[in-house]
Amino acid sequence: MKMLVIGSGGREDAFVWKLQQEKNVEKIFVCPGHPYMDRFDKVELLPKKNEDELCDFALKENIELTIVGPEAPLTKGVKDKFSDKGLALFGPSQKAAQLEGSKIFSKEFMMKHDIPTADFVVCSDFEKAMAALNDWDMKEGIVIKADGLAGGKGVVVTKDKKIAEQTLYDFMKNPKVSISTDSILLEKVLPGVEVSAFALCHGEEYFFLGSACDHKRVFDNDEGPNTGGMGCFRTPEWPDLKLLEKIESRILKPTLKGCVTTGMPFSGFLFMGLMINEAGDPYVIEYNVRMGDPETQTLFPLIEGDLSTGLIDLMRGKKPKLRLKNESSVHVVMTSGGYPSIDDTPLDKGNRITFTEDLIHSSSEETKLFLAGVSRNEAGEMINSGGRVLGVTALGPTLERAREIAYQSIELIDFKGCHYRRDIGARSRG
């Protein structure tokens, strides 16, 4: 089978790593990918294309299955374009992609389908938002969310009324701030522990991938600014089976059913960002309509069975023949110096990356290397060219063992300015 993968980061590197191993996958086109994806011999890299060009390409090349990494092509309707031409793409329609694309759409969806989430109000102008804030009991704090995709910058959680007022001004009025919205969501703060859960879905059929905990802050002990994700872990001990069962029955199943009854059956990866309260009950913070990065690099090495066959089965309404290893997984991300550069100072890029041959070929059973922000210099050497440069995933019988192996491997990699957190998976969250 010929496949097409859309995207270019560590998440897509993990998609390709998995698909490359599967017998019935003959060729994997990646658009645009990164230069080192060609270390997988079934891969052919394509120059950047828009959604129409991707569709033309898939038709011309008889692509049998397309998988999408990032949300942007999905919110722009790539699925609908492929479906119109009779092409199989694993991802939601533009309508269903609003579950990620519009926070207000997704909250209203959750209310309508009795999916547990924080109480909220929607304000359609600045004056109404200020009035709602005035009436807000700030003891527990407030969450302010701009509607629409905001690259992770559209959410502020605070107990300080002055900061809340400034945020409303910034999001709704301030011309100097990149986020600009007429619709704002004010939400109650959910106390608890955050975890994300994932499923491969098609209509009401699904394969539950379980959960993973991302570390978003750049420095150890969750200090410093937010990033796209500095590392991630999954352990079978937490969430335990009882909690996973609650997530499945109270959130995953009603979400898929709700999508069907609203006339937007969900096909694709469903990412449920959750808060687990003290009583052990899950609440939805947000949906994403794609896999996470670095959650994919953490979870995919645990999947046993053919993903390509599993997805085709699922899209034909059959339960996929996939299983998850009952092991712990730890993924540590290595970044360029200066990342995440909240003040836009240039990152320390273009430095030669050194590491062992064993790692580059991802040949070890226990350790996988996933590449993201890398390119080749004129001498043909690997250099860092992005914020999140690469990451190592290790599996182990315990979280502690997986951590140990991941850190032994990451210590073998070096480049000028490189940075990684040393506490990924150090404390299980349960």
Residue 331, token pair as written in the block? 């993924």
Nearer to ligand GLY, 235 or 297 (CB): 297
Closest separation in Å from C-beta 56 to ligand AMP: 34
Is 216 in contact with 333 (CB distance < 8 Å)?
no
Closest separation in Å from C-beta 357 to ligand GLY: 30
∠ Cα 206 147 137 (to 5°): 105
Closest separation in Å from C-beta 105 to ligand AMP: 13
Contact positions vs ligand AMP (CB under 6 A)? 118, 143, 145, 155, 157, 187, 189-190, 194, 273, 275, 285-286
Nearer to ligand AMP, 133 or 285 (CB): 285
Closest separation in Å from C-beta 178 to ligand AMP: 16
Question: Which residue in the shown chain puts its C-beta closest to ligand GLY?
Answer: 292
Which among ligand AMP, ligand GLY, none contacts residue 400 (Cβ within 5 to 8 A by kind)? none
Which among ligand AMP, ligand GLY, none contacts residue 293 (Cβ within 5 to 8 A by kind)? ligand GLY
C-alpha 235 chain-centroid distance = 18
Closest separation in Å from C-beta 291 to ligand GLY: 7
Closest separation in Å from C-beta 321 to ligand AMP: 32
Which among ligand AMP, ligand GLY, none contacts residue 306 (Cβ within 5 to 8 A by kind)? none
Closest separation in Å from C-beta 391 to ligand AMP: 20
Which among ligand GLY, ligand AMP, none contacts residue 288 (Cβ within 5 to 8 A by kind)? ligand GLY
With helix as H, strand as E and coil as C, how does the chain read?
A: CEEEEEECCHHHHHHHHHHHCCCCCCEEEEEECCHHHHHCCCEEECCCCCHHHHHHHHHHCCCCEEEECCCHHHHCCHHHHHHHCCCCEECCCHHHHHHHHCHHHHHHHHHHCCCCECCEEEECCHHHHHHHHHCCCCCCCEEEEECCCCCCCCEEEECCHHHHHHHHHHHHCCCCCCCCCCCEEEECCCCCEEEEEEEEEECCEEEEEEEEEECCEEEHHHEEEECCCCEEEEECCECCHHHHHHHHHHHHHHHHHHHHHCCCCCEEEEEEEEEECCCCCEEEEEEECCCCCCHHHHHHHHEECCHHHHHHHHHCCCCCCCEECCCEEEEEEEECECCCCCCCCCCECCCECECCHHHHCCCCCCEEEEECCEEECCCCCEEECCCEEEEEEEEECCHHHHHHHHHHHHCCCECCCCECCCCCCCCCCC
Nearer to ligand AMP, 110 or 392 (CB): 110
Closest separation in Å from C-beta 229 to ligand GLY: 4
Nearer to ligand GLY, 292 or 391 (CB): 292
Which among ligand GLY, ligand AMP, none contacts residue 371 (Cβ within 5 to 8 A by kind)? none
Nearer to ligand GLY, 69 or 239 (CB): 69
Nearer to ligand GLY, 5 or 315 (CB): 5
Nearer to ligand AMP, 99 or 285 (CB): 285
Nearer to ligand GLY, 26 or 222 (CB): 222
Which among ligand GLY, ligand AMP, none contacts residue 189 (Cβ within 5 to 8 A by kind)? ligand AMP
Contact positions vs ligand GLY (CB under 6 A)? 214, 229, 288, 292-293, 295
Which among ligand GLY, ligand AMP, none contacts residue 285 (Cβ within 5 to 8 A by kind)? ligand AMP
